[in-house]
A = this chain, B = another copy of it.
Amino acid sequence: MTEREPRAARRGRPRQAEVARLAGVSQTTVSLVLGGNKQGIVIQEATRARVLEAARTLGYVPDPAARRLAAARNNLLGVFSFTATFPTAVEHSYYRFLVGVEQEAAARGYDLVLFTGSSSGGAGAGAPGALDRVRLADGCLLLGRHVPTEPLRRLVADGFPLVSIGRREEPEGLAWVGADYATASAEVVGHLAGLGHRGVLLVREDDDAPASADRQRGFVEGLAAAGLPAPDGTVVRTARPAAEIDAAWVRARYAEGVTAFVAEETDTGDAWRALTSAVAGAGLRVPDEVSLALLGSPSADLSGQPEPTGFDIPRAELGATAVRLLTDLLADPLAEGERPSAGLVSCGFRPGVTVAPPPRRAAP
């Protein structure tokens, strides 16, 4: 046989040892120069320069796995999605987070590793241990609605730096960033009240997501803050908006003095859709006769319609915030038992064109 090469025939990918040989120093010195050298060991400028030069010539890049194993940093941030990150369906919104994540990570000198949790086959799938791949990175962002709590709990318990994008209660001790739906919703209500609306109503779907609950809470608080009444029926919760929110219903509410309808944004956008068509069906003009507001961003298929008043979820900013939180965690890991911080990012008010002062008319 031939001269046995160092296993996988040195396919490019130079090692520190090769850099060392070229620079005429030891591997240790190379590590010292190129790595952190936290120990503050003194290296002569000339030597240092030679090493850097050699590294450049060879195009040396540290092996993340080796670095990681040697208990050091990778400069890699993981992004684990429980569904495909680049969804085929464009309406799916995860990619919006990613733009913020990407920018912020780049700005901080981190590269991103995409771990795809879902989909078929390979290392993916719900295969046990799928989530554990993220240990290759220094820390990881979590993206997606449905998350297997158990494996997560393990990572959290081990003190692996994790930040969830989107509020998450479940694994105790998990850091997260989320949009401040409550404040934003209250703000929308405040805006309506400021214009003179006295009868304001919320239509929400039958869904227990924290995001929905937060919106409702904000809505109610907004009413209270504006000194508006919140009689029974102020929050309408329905599983089938299309069926229950119709022209007759709108007319009835209008007759009772309701001049503004607020809908929550959901995956489907059904609440808003039902509301707009019901109002149109009732022959009421928007915003001259009734005002409409949407607690969230309109879904993509509504792009032709007049822009709803409401708020926008700053997804990119959320992504960026998550990266900041994560890198902070990396720089300064939690002490034993310390509660992780969480971040609420505020949503921007979107003026839109579906809200105006209420019509003047006889008091009901």
Which of A's residues lie within 8 Å of B, judged by CB?
7-8, 11-13, 56, 59-66, 68-69, 71-72, 74-76, 84-90, 95-96, 98-99, 101-103, 105-116, 118-124, 128-129, 132-136, 154-155, 157-160, 316, 333
Contacts and interface: CB of A to CB of B under 8 A. Distances in A.
A118 B103 CA distance: 10
A129 B85 contact: no
A86 B62 CA distance: 23
A285 to B, nearest CB: 24
A12 B66 contact: no
A110 B64 CA distance: 15
Nearest to A336: B9
Contact of A59 (B59, B121, B158): B158
A330 B158 CA distance: 34
B158 A13 contact: yes
Contact of A114 (B65, B89, B111): B111
A85 B99 contact: yes
A136 B95 contact: no
The number of times this chain is found in the oligomer is: 2
B85 A89 contact: no
Given A88-B95, A89-B96, A110-B119, 13 more contacts: A12-B157, A61-B134, A63-B135, A64-B132, A64-B135, A65-B68, A84-B102, A88-B99, A88-B316, A106-B116, A106-B121, A109-B119, A111-B123
Contact of A76 (B62, B113, B120, B157): B113
Contact of A65 (B8, B85, B115, B135): B135
B121 A98 contact: no
B7 A72 contact: yes
Max chain B C-beta neighbours (<10 A), residue from A59, A74, A105: A59
A10 to B, nearest CB: 9
B103 A85 contact: yes
Contacts of A69: 63, 65-66, 69
14 contacts: A7-B72, A12-B155, A12-B159, A12-B160, A59-B155, A65-B65, A84-B99, A85-B99, A88-B102, A106-B120, A106-B124, A108-B122, A109-B119, A112-B114
Contact of A89 (B13, B66, B95, B136): B95
B109 A121 contact: yes
A144 to B, nearest CB: 14
Contacts of A88: 95, 98-99, 102, 316
A347 to B, nearest CB: 19
B113 A111 contact: yes
B95 A62 contact: no
Contacts of A154: 59, 61
A158 B12 contact: yes
Nearest to A76: B113
A89 B99 contact: yes
Contacts of A160: 11-13
B74 A64 contact: yes
